[in-house]
Amino acid sequence: MVTVVHPNLEKTDAKMSAREVSVYYGDKKAIDEVSIDIPTKYVTAFIGPSGCGKSTFLRTLNRMNDTIPSARVEGSITLDGEDVYRSKMDVVQLRARVGMVFQKPNPFPKSIYDNIAYGPKIHGLASGKTELDEVVEKSLRRAGLWNEVKDRLEDSGTALSGGQQQRLCIARAIAVDPEVILMDEPCSALDPIATAKIEELIDELNGSYAIVIVTHSMQQAARVSQRTAFFHLGKMVEYGRTSDIFTNPLEERTKDYITGRYG
């Protein structure tokens, strides 16, 4: 076993489980036998230096790596016990259940309303205009954006500020009512105030969705997550409760990273 798991990590319901997952880009091994349970009710943070594979691993959870032709995944990943990589798995359905928010805000060049309504529309989740209006309002409210944009829903989503765009993307992910939300460094392109708002939002969403966040900022991991996994050179070095990882790291490399010796 390459990963050190903290002994006082209590058992919780796992929404997603990865078992000995390895990811290759061509011949290069980017992820080496990672095993982890993503709990249903908590925020899980992946931390680690640049290029350690945390984003790659995140993208295997909803099969976004499928878009990279050379990428290959070994091992098993399950969502509620179903194998995500089995041939019968419907990728469209998987991604509706496991939503994703990206590093750089990427609203569609459409109106704010259409940005949110797009997911429910293609999945047929809302029948009729009133129901769609409700979904849009509910999603924007949950993302804490409603009061800022309610009077200009027809404006382009790209006209919003960076922080607002990222909350719009989170609202867009929420609109299809996923079970898991993956966030790939959602605050790295934002200023501290916008970052604080996103973190607040993650706190509020915690409990309703299983959330996985990849972050460069250890402070952010400490603030928003209950579970932390430390990645280094494609391996998951240490995993445990966030408080344990930050106050009592067991591995030398973890200790060096969180004390700022490298990374």
| DSSP 8-state assignment for residue 98 | E
Closest distance to other proteins from the beta carbon of 58 (Å): 11
Closest to other proteins by CB, 56 or 254: 56
Query: Could you tell me which stretch among 48-56, 106-114, 201-209, 224-232 binds other proteins (CB under 8 A)?
Result: 106-114
Closest to other proteins by CB, 173 or 194: 173
Phi, then psi, of 116 in degrees rounded to 5: -75, -40
CB 44 within 8 A of CB 38: yes
Task: List the x/- string, 155-184, binding to other proteins by CB under 8 A.
Answer: -x-x----------x--xx-xx--------
Helix H or strand E segment including 35: strand 28-39
Closest to other proteins by CB, 3 or 115: 115
Closest distance to other proteins from the beta carbon of 14 (Å): 22
Instruction: Choose, by CB under 8 A, the member of 43, 71, 96, 117 that binds other proteins.
Output: 96
Rounded CA separation 122/154 (Å): 19
User: How many residues of this chain bind other proteins (CB under 8 A)?
Assistant: 29
Instruction: Choose, by CB under 8 A, the member of 99, 234, 240, 249 that binds other proteins.
Output: 99
Determine, following the binding rule CB under 8 A, whether residue 123 of this chain makes contact with other proteins: yes
Closest to other proteins by CB, 117 or 236: 117
Cα distances from 45 to residues 12, 102, 116, 202, in angstroms, run 16, 15, 26, 12
Query: Could you tell me which stretch among 73-81, 91-99, 135-143, 197-205 binds other proteins (CB under 8 A)?
Result: 91-99
Closest to other proteins by CB, 41 or 104: 104
What is the maximum span of the chain, computed from C-alpha positions, in angstroms?
57
Percent of the chain as helix, strand, coil, to the nearest 5: 40, 30, 35
Instruction: Choose, by CB under 8 A, the member of 45, 64, 205, 258 that binds other proteins.
Output: 64
Residue that is written with structure tokens 């399950």 in the block: 78
Which residues does 78 contact at the CB level (< 8 Å), separation at least 6?
16, 17, 19, 84
Rounded CA separation 64/253 (Å): 29
Closest to other proteins by CB, 35 or 106: 106
Residues in 209-248 that interact with other proteins by CB under 8 A? none
Sheet arrangement for strand 14-25: 28-39, 14-25, 71-79, 82-83
Binding site for other proteins (CB under 8 A): 62, 64, 67, 69, 92-96, 99-102, 104, 106-109, 118-119, 122-123, 156, 158, 169, 172-173, 175-176
